[in-house]
Amino acid sequence: MSTYRNPLLPFGPDPWIVFHDGYYYFTYTAHHHIPMRRSRSLAELGNAEETTVWRDDHPMRCTEMWAPELYSLDGPNGRRWYLYYTASDGQDLNHRCFVLEGQPEDPRGPYAYKGQLRTDPEDRLYGIDGHVLVKGDGSMYLLWAGHPGHRIFVQRLENPWTTVGERVQLEADGFGCEEVREGPVALQRDGRIFLVYSICDTGKPDYKLGMLWCYETDDVLDPASWRQWPEPVFTRNDAAGVYGPGHNGFFKSPDGTEDWIVYHAKDVEYYDYERRSPRCQPFGWRPDGTPDFGAPVALGEEVRLPAGDTWVADA
């Protein structure tokens, strides 16, 4: 087999994929726990065994667990795996960003609760979709969507679980949608940082991706460093029956030569949360060094496997 077909699963909002040591690791929003699947091939993820790597009984963070993201990061305890996620007590305004600490080798854990990421001094403000940017000099930054205004913010990380200094709001165009900006994800290449973010209510068919960018040498905590890309970079594809593509992540092919985007989208044109399914496809780069994500492919369309994918029939 040299191809696979989307979706990876029938349901799985806010998908995230990491390729590590011969395996794809996949997680997504499951609301009351954090699931993870592992497989040798992208084509096998849908049938891979799913394990729960985290469940919580603390009343302030035991439900509405959203948008888990997996990273291998250096910290005071050496290099370890960390899971960033959003959770609440069941009240939407009480959503906050949290982090778990795992082991040096296995992305599946076990994990221990490390703490809440303090995104405002008095812990009064809603915060979701925590994402970590690590610059070439090793400095780390937390990006997230927060209030007021459901906008994108950035703050320095002293270590994987501790914010330091003031948070900074980044202006990001909504291209005519309401004031929702969420799911910030950094993509780095050739001295530039591209910050891709989701626009609009995720239940709407017009959910889509926009992009800011800056140079690696810029101060990412200075809003003036960020340039706005003049148009959305990934949008609905009516001809292919794809609506609301967004809340994405990025990963490399197993051989490291290709860039891939993972995202959720729907196959219905009306407002809906329950049909968001995880999908993947490769993307390229323009001659000017900026990413070209193309258009989301239709469900059932044959997509070639990532370069170096080791899927073997009857293995």
As a whole number of angstroms, the distance between CA 72 and CA 122 comes to 29
Question: Which helix (H) or strand (E) element contains residue 198?
Answer: strand 192-199
Amino acid at 237: N
219 labelled catalytic: no
Q: CA dist 295 to 9, 237, 251, 284, Å?
A: 20, 7, 18, 12
From 182, 206, 259, 309, the catalytic residue: 182
Phi then psi for 67, rounded to 5 degrees? 50, 55
As a whole number of angstroms, the distance between CA 315 and CA 306 comes to 18
Q: CA dist 190 to 212, 216, 293, Å?
A: 16, 9, 17
Residue 242, strand partner residues: 237
Residue 80, strand partner residues: 73
43 by DSSP, 3-state: which?
helix
182 labelled catalytic: yes
150 by DSSP, 3-state: which?
coil
From 14, 69, 206, 259, the catalytic residue: 14
Burial (CB < 10 A; 0-12, 13-18, 19+), residue 79, is exposed
Give me 71's structure tokens: 């990273």
First to last CA, the chain: 12
Nearest to 87 by CA among 114, 106, 61, 52: 61
Phi then psi for 164, rounded to 5 degrees? -145, 145
Per-residue DSSP letters for 142-188? EEEEETTTTEEEEEEEEETTEEEEEEEEE----TTS-S-EEEEEEEE
Active site residues: 14, 182
